[in-house]
Amino acid sequence: MTTTATAAIAMLFAANAASAAGQLNIYNWGDYTNPELIKKFEEKFDVKVTVTDYDSNDTALAKVRAGGHGFDVVVPSANYVQIWIKEGLLQEARPDQMENFKNVDERWVDVPWDPGRHYTVPWQWGLTGIGVNTSVYKGDINTSAIFLDPPEELAGKINVAPEMNDVLFATIKYFGGDWCTTDKDVLRKVRDKLVEAKTKWLAMDYSVTEKLPAGDYAAVYYWNGAIMRSRIKNADIKFGYPKEGFPYFMDSVALLKDAKNAENAKLFMNFIMDPENAALISAFAKYSNGIKGSEKFLQAEMQDAPELVVPAEFQPAGEFLASCEPDVQQLYTRIWTELQK
C-alpha cells in the first residue's frame, strides 16, 4: 500500500472517530465479551452497544441465515469463516487496510480461513483440553481418556463441551485417525465410544466457570480460558493437554453483509486491534488474542499460565481445526445427532 493511501485511510478513521454515534449490535459467544471493553468503546465513540450471546457456531450461522436478526458483527471460529464467506453472509470489511492492523501478530495475518485478513479481525484463540479437580482424581490428566474412558473417580461427574467439531476431533485422534477422515472403521469406533462414554457424563453445557470450581463437575473437556478462570477460583483445578491430539481454535470478528451500522462495526474492528483494548478482551475470558504488544497490558497471571503456555512435549499433539468438505461434515453430523438422542 502506498504512503498516500495509508494516510488517506488513517484520515478516514480519524473522521469517523470524530463523528461516530448511534448503535452497534454484536453477536458473540456467551461469557466472552468484557463489559469494560464495551464501556470504553461506547464512551470513546458515543455508540450504544448491544451484545447478544450464542452458544455454538451452528446456532450463530442458522440465526443469521434466517435473516431479520439485526446484528452488525459476529465472531465465528476459524473453521466456519469460509462457510460464512462462501454463503455471502459477510462484507469484505478490509481490516488489512485499517490503522491498527499493524498490530496484528504476523502469525495471524495470512491465515487459511481469511488470507490477508480481508474479512476478519482476531478476537481470541486457544485450545480445547482437559480440566480436572485433583482433589477428586490424582491420575494422568493429559489424555482424552478422562472423558472417553473415565476413571471410576470421575464417572458421572464430567461435563463435555457441546461443540461437535471439538468433541469429534479429540475422539478421532483418540483412535489414531486424522481430522476430516472418512474411514468408516474409525468413525464407527468414534460413534460407539461417544455413545458409551456419554452414559458416564453428567452434562454437556457451558456453565464450566461456575460449576467446575464449585465442585459440581469433577472433570471437563472444555476450552482452556474457561478452565483457567475455574482454576483461579479453585486451586485444585488443573489443566491437561490430551496427548492423543487436541484442537486449536481462533475466533474472529466479522462484519455482516446486512449490517445496519457498518461504519460503527468497522470502528469496533479497528478498536480491538489496539494492544491495550485487545488486552481487555483477554483479561476477561483468559484466552490469547493475537495482537502484538497486548502482553504489556495483561495481568501477570496470564504471562505463564499453564492453560495458555503449551508444554513442549504436547505441542506436536495440537492442530488447528480445518473446515471439512460438506460430505464429511454430513457424516460427522450424523454421529453428533445420534449422540444427542
- 241 beta partners: none
pLDDT at residue 240 is higher than 70:
yes
Average pLDDT over residues 275-298: 97
Compare 10 and 340 and report the one with higher pLDDT: 340
- Give helix 57-66 / helix 78-86 axis angle, nearest 10°: 20
Share of the chain above pLDDT 70, in %: 94
Task: Count other Cβ atoms within 10 Å, centred on residue 36.
Answer: 13
- Kindly indicate the confidence band of residue 158, based on its pLDDT and cuts at 50, 70 and 90: very high
Amino acid symbol at 5: A
pLDDT score of 81? 97
Mean residue pLDDT of the chain comes to 94
For the chain, how far is it from start to end, CA to CA, in angstroms? 54
Question: For the segment 298-337, what is each residue's pLDDT rounded down to a tens digit?
Answer: 999 998 999 999 999 999 999 999 889 999 999 999 999 9
pLDDT score of 303? 86
pLDDT score of 8? 44
Burial of 7 (0-12, 13-18, 19+ CB in 10 A): exposed
pLDDT score of 7? 45
pLDDT at residue 20 is higher than 70:
no
* Cα–Cα distance measured from residue 121 to residue 118, given in angstroms and rounded to the nearest whole number: 9
Q: In this structure, what DSSP letter does residue 325 have?
A: P
pLDDT at residue 13 is higher than 90:
no
Task: Count other Cβ atoms within 10 Å, centred on residue 332.
Answer: 23
Question: For the segment 73-91, what is each residue's pLDDT rounded down to a tens digit?
Answer: 999 999 999 999 999 999 9
Question: For the segment 195-217, what is each residue's pLDDT rounded down to a tens digit?
Answer: 999 999 999 999 999 999 999 99
* Cα–Cα distance measured from residue 105 to residue 120, given in angstroms and rounded to the nearest whole number: 14
Instruction: Kindly state the cell numbers that stand for 328.
Output: 464429511
On whether the pTM is more than 0.85, the answer is yes
* Cα–Cα distance measured from residue 169 to residue 309, given in angstroms and rounded to the nearest whole number: 21
